[in-house]
Structure 1
Amino acid sequence: MLIGKRVFIAEFTRRPNRFEAYVKLNGEELIVHVPNTGRCKEILISGSTVLLREEINPSRKTLYDLIAVYKNNKLINIDSQIPNKVVDEALKYKKIKSLVKYNIVQREKIFGNSRFDFKLSNELGEEYYLEVKGVTFEVNGKTMFPDAPTKRGKKHLLELIESKRKGFGAGVLFLIQMSNVNSFSPYDDMDKDFGEALRLAYNNGVDIFAYECIVGENLITLSKSVEIIL
């Protein structure tokens, strides 16, 4: 998918809280919005090169969103609103082979006590619930999730298990918001409970997907599957 707004290159300086950061753009220090509540400490380093998306809205406090950062030569998208849009596009263009039989794609559907990112179905009456998680943490080609503890993420996995038990299809897709990676794993050192829940989900028939992306300064699209190491 193309990013249909103007994108600017800037220098990251600091991030005083989860939602705001300071950058230098054309020699001027500006405050920008960070559309990601994860820590991102290993990439949002003072002096790093970042991408800003212009958001012209008179009700906003800031003019820009900080949407991506260069880690050496690797561009990592960190916009938490992007994964669902990328997966929506991939589902409609049949880029996820295991899910091609579903031609009805619905967003934000409730099952039990959770709101899943997608409900997929077809004319045969088959239904499938899919949750999407964006991945931005990478070390030497190994990507992991989450980069901060997530009780909500564990809850989603347990609800996917319940949907599977009730006869529905169920899966979680980890969208790795960068290219050229080797593997994906749960980040047990960050959140052991999430890792245990992910393995429990897998053992109960929940599908686990991991896909990397092609990421450019004005585009991001789902690319190819990545080895999963649980």
Structure 2
Amino acid sequence: MRLPPLHRATLLRRYKRFLADVVFDDGREEVVHVPNPGSMLGMADPGMTVWTSRSEAKTRKLPHTLELVEADGALIGVNTMLPNRLTAEALALGLIPELAGYAEVRAEVKYGEKSRVDFLLSSPTAQSRKPPAWVEVKSVTLSRQAGLAEWPDCVSSRSVQHLRELSARLADGDRAVLLFVVQRSDCDRFAVAADLDPAFATALAGAITAGLEVLVYACKMSTEEIVVGRRLPHGAP
């Protein structure tokens, strides 16, 4: 996925979750939108180099959006809106073999109790033997030790609900898939951060026992584009 032209800046502070003060290379200080509801643990320290996109829409109160952060010598994509777009592109290009071969891909499909699954893959023809695949996507940015990507970076009670909804699809013979998209250029393996959210780790272990599939894919990162790359091994419970 090609990124819009990005502007380099230095992070002054992040606050109210969705706001950050930055100073651009030309000395301008601005408030930028942070499209990430998580803690951004290790990626919101004052002085970090960041990259923003700019919208020319006149309806935007804050024209700049935080897209990338540089930490530990790596580029990290902090825009949590991108993994679904990256996944849609990867599915269309067949970059995720485990999810290839479906005739139809639908996004944001209602299911369960007031929930929406990120993607529903299906092959509605009678000749197909592939069961529908319900796919939930998670954006991974945390790394607390070299080479190890982790999720979540804070308590995520909503994700426990997602696991319950996904597991319910297994009873119908469908596939349930949790896809972790690692928006970092420096990780070669993945683990659940059980110390940050024990409830999620416990729920995930139960869902895997019931048949939930866990996939983890790294991204090739640059300031020009982000592309889903290779599959990573994981230590999911």
Report if aligned partners of 2:90, 2:96 keep a CA contact under 8 Å in 1: yes
| Deviation of the 1:45 alpha carbon | 1.0
**The residue matched to 1:200 in structure 2 has which SS?**
helix
| Deviation of the 1:91 alpha carbon | 0.7
| Match of residue 14 from structure 1 | 13
| Deviation of the 1:181 alpha carbon | 1.0
| Match of residue 101 from structure 1 | 101
| CA displacement, residues 34-78 of structure 1 (integer Å, 9 cap, x when unaligned) | 000111131211111000011122121111001110013200000
**The residue matched to 1:217 in structure 2 has which SS?**
coil
Report if aligned partners of 1:186, 1:198 keep a CA contact under 8 Å in 2: no
| Deviation of the 1:149 alpha carbon | 0.9
Matched, 1:116 2:117: yes
Q: CA RMSD in A?
A: 1.1
Q: Which residue type is aligned with residue 54 of structure 1?
A: R
1:156-171 superposed matches below 5 A: 156-171=162-177
Which of 214, 217, 226 in structure 2 is aligned with 1:211?
217
| CA displacement, residues 119-165 of structure 1 (integer Å, 9 cap, x when unaligned) | 00113273110000000101211111111111110100111111011
Matched, 1:155 2:156: no
Q: Which residue type is aligned with residue 199 of structure 1?
A: A
Paired with 1:209 and 1:48, the residues of 2 have a C-alpha distance of: 30
| Match of residue 35 from structure 1 | 35
**The residue matched to 2:52 in structure 1 has which SS?**
strand
- State percent identity of aligned pairs: 31
**The residue matched to 1:202 in structure 2 has which SS?**
helix
Matched, 1:130 2:129: no
Matched, 1:75 2:75: yes
| Deviation of the 1:186 alpha carbon | 1.3
Which of 131, 151, 173 in structure 2 is aligned with 1:145?
151
Shift of the 180–103 alpha-carbon distance from structure 1 to 2, 3 Å rule, reads: farther
Normalised by the length of structure 2, the TM-score is 0.93
Q: Which residue type is aligned with residue 141 of structure 1?
A: G
Paired with 2:217 and 2:180, the residues of 1 have a C-alpha distance of: 6
**The residue matched to 1:228 in structure 2 has which SS?**
coil
Report if aligned partners of 1:146, 1:186 keep a CA contact under 8 Å in 2: yes
| CA displacement, residues 172-222 of structure 1 (integer Å, 9 cap, x when unaligned) | 100000123132111111111111111111111111000110011021110
**The residue matched to 2:98 in structure 1 has which SS?**
helix
| Deviation of the 1:6 alpha carbon | 2.2
| Match of residue 196 from structure 1 | 202
Report if aligned partners of 1:111, 1:163 keep a CA contact under 8 Å in 2: no
Normalised by the length of structure 1, the TM-score is 0.96
User: Which stretches in structure 1 are left out of the alignment for 5+ residues?
Assistant: none
Report if aligned partners of 2:54, 2:64 keep a CA contact under 8 Å in 1: yes
Q: How many residues are paired up?
A: 229
Q: Which residue type is aligned with residue 104 of structure 2?
A: I
**The residue matched to 2:106 in structure 1 has which SS?**
strand
**The residue matched to 1:159 in structure 2 has which SS?**
helix
Paired with 2:72 and 2:176, the residues of 1 have a C-alpha distance of: 37
Of stretches 19-28 and 139-148 in structure 1, the one that deviates more from structure 2 is: 139-148
Matched, 1:226 2:232: yes
**The residue matched to 1:15 in structure 2 has which SS?**
strand
**The residue matched to 1:188 in structure 2 has which SS?**
coil
